[in-house]
Amino acid sequence: MNTILFIVTILSVASAAVLAVLNWRLISEERRRSAARVDALLSAAAALPEPAATPPAPDSPADRIVLRPDSVERQDLFHTASEPASSVWRLAIPVSLAILVVGTLVTVLLLSNDRGAQPAPVAARAAGATSAPLELLSLRHELTEDRLSITGLVRNPRASRQLAGVNVVVFVFDRSGAFLTSLQGPLDFRTLAAGDESPFVVSLDHIADVGRYRVSFRAADQVVPHVDRRQAPVVASVNRQ
């Protein structure tokens, strides 16, 4: 893309230079022709003999001569052989202008397409960084009398961006599947760079008849996607001890 832009720019500059030279030559040619015409007129006027003073004679029909302009002689006098060359220069000017305009338009279009395409890889990298889910490496629980304690370990993938303020959210259900309550607690490390791990512990008191629970993660009122790396479902059943 940069090579094409460079070539188009060089062609546009060259066309502009050629156009400037053609304009200069055309102006010089017109000035030279004008000067030649003036010199020819002056020479013709100087070569004419001065009329002798003669008494006026009466007009007669036979002596009347109708003078008609000789267009061929005037054309030969004022038009030189440089007219075809001047036509060539006049034709070259619009051609150069067309080349310059086309080159400019192509350059603008290529620059617009290049600028429009540049943010795409950046956006793709950002989307890939934000889409990497949190990895749940371990999950354990302990239920004694009326207290439920849940511990685990999570990891922020190396391909992900830095995470901050991630909380663990646990939904608790009874043995029949009815919802009992939910609890929330922070990770031990509030900031997770790419590749970092953090344990967590959440506890709930005064609860009975716990059948199972579900773990999820949130940050700034948004759900943080996660994937279970324990090769087991995230919904855990509770066995009373």
Residue 113 lies in a domain: yes
Residue 176 lies in a domain: yes
Residue 184 lies in a domain: yes
Q: What is the mean pLDDT of the chain?
A: 77
Q: Does residue 112 sit in the same domain as residue 9?
A: yes
Encode pLDDT of 8-40 as tens digits.
778 777 877 877 787 788 888 888 888 888 888
Strand order in the sheet with 197-205: 197-205, 147-155, 134-144, 226-228
Task: Report, as an integer, the average pLDDT of 69-95.
Answer: 55
Task: Provide the pLDDT confidence category of residue 219 given band limits of 50, 70 and 90.
Answer: very high
Q: Does residue 137 sit in the same domain as residue 38?
A: no
Fill in the amino acid letter for 107.
T
Q: Does residue 136 sit in the same domain as residue 207?
A: yes
Please give the structure tokens belonging to residue 24. Answer: 């200069």
| Torsion angle, alpha carbons of 224, 228, 229, 230, to 10 | 140
Q: Does residue 101 sit in the same domain as residue 153?
A: no
Residue 54 lies in a domain: no
Encode pLDDT of 108-154 as tens digits.
777 676 665 555 444 444 444 456 899 999 999 998 888 899 999 99
Higher pLDDT, 100 or 197: 197
Q: Does residue 108 sit in the same domain as residue 75?
A: yes
Higher pLDDT, 194 or 53: 194
Q: Does residue 166 sit in the same domain as residue 220?
A: yes
**What is the domain range of residue 41?**
2-45+71-117
Q: Does residue 146 sit in the same domain as residue 215?
A: yes
Q: Does residue 103 sit in the same domain as residue 135?
A: no
Report pTM. 0.45
- The pLDDT of residue 84 is 55
